[in-house]
Chain A
Amino acid sequence: MTTLSREETEALIAEVLEVYPEKAKKDRAKHLTVNDQSIEQSKKCITSNRKTLPGVMTVRGCAYAGSKGVVWGPIKDMIHISHGPIGCGQFSRAGRRNYYVGTTGVDTFATMNFTSDFQEKDIVFGGDKKLSKLIEEIDQLFPLNKGISVQSECPIGLIGDDIEAIAKKTSAAIGKPVVPVRCEGFRGVSQSLGHHIANDTIRDWVLDKRDGVTMETTPYDVAIIGDYNIGGDAWATRILLEEMALRVVAQWSGDGTLAEMMNTPKVKLNLLHCYRSMNYISRHMEEKYGIPYMEYNFFGLTKIIESMRRIAAFFDDSVKEKCEAVIARYQPMVDAVIARFKPRLQGKKVMLYVGGLRPRHIIGAYEDLGMEVVGTGYEFGHNDDYDRTIKEMGNATLIYDDANGFELEEFVKRIKPDMVGSGIKEKYIFQKMGIPFRQMHSWDYSGPYHGYDGFGIFARDMDIALSNPVWNNLLPPWKKVTAEAVKEAA
């Protein structure tokens, strides 16, 4: 592990860029920067949300991934049809650990793959008929579904099928909402536009469906928005909110249902965890229904306490009192976590490269454990994400946007962090380089990481990764012998 100064980090960026041809170098230079906390606006130092350079190994996804995988997919009581050829849906099926309760295939469907399985003739003659038939069949076979969404894959946009018309027609026939989502993969530069498109379809096809229908409300109704319940995250969050005597009306969209979404316009406050993927609908609800939204962060002790107090400040004194009581009650538990793990983790350096909210949200959790984040970046962040990141990161740390395999590898080789947190595509490269790794998308089959319960698990997982004895055995025995012999001889 080495700590680089500002000049050294700048030199490192220049060195990594060296291998690119002139034009590519100019383009990539705009996406890499050394953090300067005095800058108010990220656009002065980093460009984001641009088309990926052809020829590099990006880790981005497509708009379909953003809509089907992220926003719509976890709505558990709806059936999401991957409309088009079979691959997009099959290869992304059940890969995201958004937990839910229910009987899969009976009343919940999140891990199943429904597809229209396009063949050549559907491309040539259009797939409208097939889609209508499919929707009717689905409703027969799975009568407990509450609605259907049609997630377009690339070919649908190319051949120009009118899925909106089919949606209206079949919706009337089956008497349930059918939502057409124009999230063809080629739209936009990354999954980010898919989030936006999905949010817009929720706005147009779902949100206002229960306007005018009364629901029993309380002054303490909130909705959790943008918590995808990875490994049970949203449940850990919900526990804390309920202990503060708030009523959680909806969970968007981890373990969430269509009815919860329709009821959301009646809440008092929207709690927005993943700003990137769900800010659109939160803005809309703020304007149309006057529901304020608040970005919060339930990773790590410091941020949890800060967020809980800010949430409580929206409500009356009884909530504030309960909030303090909750904080006090959990304190001994986190004290124990910190006492156990901080001495083991203190001073370790971490590099992150994730999507959505985590590149900035988890920094605090690492800091609570005495660790330091020395590099971070978003796969598909926008300027407003980086605006929010600059202040969280230390000075002279590295920030990278849409980094590719080569750049990440070079950065890691030079910065030599004690640990890397990223996704499955990066995991094995870094493990083979001998660097402890945690998947920060799926929590590596662990979780939850949100809330007090999650913090303990997070600390344990980081310790497991770092203290694994395997890191001492990277050198094969025959080479070890020579190394010792050399030492002896010296």
Chain B
Amino acid sequence: MANIMIRTAVSGGLTFYLPKRDLEASISSIEFDTQEKWGGELKLDNGGIYYIDPIARPPRLPISLRARRIGAAED
């Protein structure tokens, strides 16, 4: 588990930030994207996949969450 931060990108999409490794990547897909259920599997454009427990859509971004890495570490 690692702390991550999700924020709205300048271009409008979502970006993923992992402070521990100073890793910034855009989120290419998010598993659940509705008002009540938001989160799940996050696919990053660098090939990484992370999982966050689904929550109600946060009223404001950025938000810090706990995430689990799925699959091998990307670099």
B5 touching A283, Cβ below 8 Å: yes
Cα separation A146 to B58 with both chains bound (whole Å): 39
In the bound complex, CA of A43 to CA of B47 (Å): 11
- Using a CB-CB cutoff of 8 Å, which residues 45-75 of chain B contact chain A? 45-46, 60, 62-64, 75
Q: Interface size for chain B: under 10, 10 to 19, 20 to 34, or 35 or more residues?
A: 10 to 19
A139 to chain B, nearest CB (A): 34
Partner of A384 from B24, B45, B75 at Cβ < 8 Å? B24
A382 lies within 8 A of B62 (CB)? no
**A43 lies within 8 A of B75 (CB):** yes
Q: Once the chains are docked, how many angstroms separate the CA of A283 from the CA of B15?
A: 12
- Could you tell me the distance between the alpha carbons of A166 and B17 in the complex, rounded to whole angstroms? 33
Are B75 and A47 in contact, with the CB atoms below 8 A? Answer: yes
The smallest C-beta distance from B35 to any residue of chain A, in angstroms, reads 21
A283 contacts B45, CB within 8 Å? no
A290 CB to nearest chain B CB (Å): 6
A383 and B46 alpha carbons, distance in the complex (Å): 11
Task: Tell me the chain A residues, 351-407 only, with Cβ under 8 Å from chain B.
Answer: 382-384, 387
**Which of B7, B22, B45, B46 is in CB contact (< 8 Å) with A286?**
B7
In the complex the two chains form, is A41's CB within 8 Å of B24's CB? no
Give the interface size bracket for A toward B: 10 to 19
Query: How far does the alpha carbon of A384 sit from the alpha carbon of B21 in the complex, in Å?
Result: 12
Cα distance A283–B45 in the bound complex, in angstroms:
20
A286 cross-chain contacts in B, Cβ below 8 A? 7, 62
- Enumerate A444-489 residues with CB–CB distance to B below 8 Å: none
| A283 adjacent to B22 (CB under 8 Å) | no
One digit per residue, 1 when the CB lies within 8 angstroms of any chain A CB and 0 when it does not, for chain B 25-55 equals 0000000000000000000011000000000
B19 within 8 A of A: yes
Residues in chain A near residue B2, CB distance under 8 A: none
When distances are taken between beta carbons in the complex, the residues of chain A under 8 Å from B62 are: 283, 286-287
Inter-chain contacts of B19 with A (CB < 8 A): 196, 280, 283
Cβ A43 vs Cβ B46 within 8 A: yes
Q: In the complex, what distance in Å separates the CA atom of A280 from the CA atom of B5?
A: 11
A280 to B21, CA, bound (A): 12
A41 to B22 alpha-carbon distance, docked (Å) = 15
A40 interfacial contact with B, CB 8 Å:
yes
Known pairs A196-B22, A384-B22 / 14 extra A-B pairs, C-beta < 8 Å: A40-B45, A43-B46, A47-B75, A196-B19, A283-B7, A283-B17, A283-B62, A286-B62, A287-B5, A287-B64, A382-B22, A383-B23, A383-B24, A384-B24
Some 8 contacts from A to B, beta carbons below 8 A apart, are: A43-B75, A49-B22, A192-B22, A196-B19, A280-B19, A287-B62, A382-B22, A384-B24
